[in-house]
Copies of this chain bind each other. A is one copy, B any other.
């Protein structure tokens, strides 16, 4: 039997996805850590590694301090060619909802535009999320595993995906 979830839960997660995507797509790197809980995990990894249970992360941040450090490094230290990202999200699939915790997935396509090139697919894959509801009712990201189908990432990941 398929579990059934409150009808507005999917809508609320879709809104979280929109806000996250919109924040990254306008390159507001300082606002990015606000989507995560204090004890979060943010991991970008290949589907090949994920399926094999291997923990390697192309980006690996454990805890909000590492997320903030990543944001600060991207803003202040990293040297990179100017670029824009644009996220496209598939429909939210809720796998479990138990008390304040929700497990959900969604397909994600990130198209990158850099100078002197046509836009290209930077990342295609799936978000594997564990979300937690805070005291104010809002959802934050406890775990986000960005599992990409790509064989490789073109050039490099500068901004979060």
Contacts and interface: CB of A to CB of B under 8 A. Distances in A.
Count of chain copies: 3
A105 to B, nearest CB: 8
A84 to B, nearest CB: 4
A56 interface: no
Interface residues of A, number: 36
A136 interface: no
A18 B95 CA distance: 13
B88 A109 contact: yes
A32 to B, nearest CB: 17
Interface of A: 14-15, 17-18, 21-22, 25, 47, 84, 86-91, 93, 107, 109, 111, 113-121, 124-126, 149-152, 154
